[in-house]
């Protein structure tokens, strides 16, 4: 075995160890918690952004119902949601972060937190123990998370998970694309259109999630 092969073998072993750590620590942190809702959204929004305010308000209201809030542990909408849950002081405010060399988070509104090595293990843990996901406006990362959740729900890998999109103006062209292109061209079934609930009514979301968790 030459030097390059030994280095590659060592890197594979380290990678496997990091993956195992991600899943074992994530499971240890979350498996005993019930009534969890995950909130997704951009890390780039300011605290005064209207969607950040909505996320904070929704998280506060859900937490007052003893519902734990899980986010990606970053800034922006994620921080706003954690802040709402943190200030409610009735449930856990959980941040599942990831190490990114070019980004530093200042989210201090968590009661439980964990930093992951890999995106795929983090995404899995963000939804594994949740009963509902609320997706606020975001960029490529949020879209990646959203479509993976939709795929897992569509294929039956996630059962009974409610998915909400908040931001009717923001998401309307995406919904139009899904209806006018994906559905029209038979890339998805009619039933798949019902996986998503698009609404800006956080009272409706709160009411439906409370009923779901009873």
* pLDDT of 90: 97
112-116 β-sheet, strand order: 112-116, 93-98, 68-71, 36-40, 132-135, 162-165, 196-198
Question: Which residue has tokens 């479509």?
Answer: 147
CA distances to 88, 136, 183 from 49, rounded to whole Å, are: 20, 12, 33
**Averaged confidence pLDDT in the chain:** 93
CA distance to 19, 92, 99, 210, per residue, from 14 (Å) = 9, 32, 16, 42
Question: How many other CB atoms sit within 10 Å of the CB of residue 9?
Answer: 11
Mean pLDDT in residue range 4-32: 87
Listed in sequence order, the residues at least 6 apart from 192 whose beta carbon sits closer than 8 Å to its beta carbon are 154, 183
196-198 and 162-165 beta bridge pairing: parallel
pLDDT level of residue 8 (50, 70, 90 thresholds): confident
Residue 117 confidence (pLDDT) above 80: yes
Residue 6's pLDDT band, with cuts at 50, 70 and 90, is low
d(CA 31, CA 24): 10
Render pLDDT for 36-82 as a digit per residue (tens, 0 to 9).
999 999 999 999 999 999 999 999 999 999 999 999 999 999 999 99
Residue 146 in this model has a pLDDT that exceeds 90: yes
Pairing of strands 132-135, 36-40: parallel
- The region of weakest confidence among 6-10, 133-137, 165-169, 202-206 is 6-10
């Amino acid at each position: 075995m030459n030097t390059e092969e030994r280095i590659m073998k060592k890197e594979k072993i380290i990678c496997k160890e990091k993956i195992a750590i991600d899943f074992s620590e994530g499971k240890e942190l979350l498996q005993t918690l019930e009534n969890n809702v995950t909130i997704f959204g951009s890390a780039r929004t300011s605290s005064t952004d209207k969607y950040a305010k909505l996320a904070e308000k929704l998280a506060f209201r859900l937490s007052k119902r003893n519902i734990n809030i899980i986010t990606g542990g970053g800034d922006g909408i994620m921080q706003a949601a954690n802040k709402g849950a943190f200030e409610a002081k009735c449930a856990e405010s959980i941040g599942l972060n990831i190490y990114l060399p070019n980004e530093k988070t200042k989210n201090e509104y968590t009661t439980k937190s964990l930093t992951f090595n890999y995106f795929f293990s983090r995404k899995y843990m963000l939804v594994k123990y949740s009963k509902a996901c609320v997706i606020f406006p975001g960029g490529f990362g949020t879209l990646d998370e959203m479509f993976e959740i939709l795929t897992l729900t569509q294929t039956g890998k996630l059962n009974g998970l409610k998915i909400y999109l908040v931001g009717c103006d923001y998401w309307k062209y995406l919904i139009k694309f899904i209806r006018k292109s994906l559905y029209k061209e038979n890339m998805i079934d009619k039933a798949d259109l019902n996986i998503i609930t698009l609404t800006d009514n956080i009272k409706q979301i709160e009411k439906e999630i409370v009923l779901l968790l009873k």
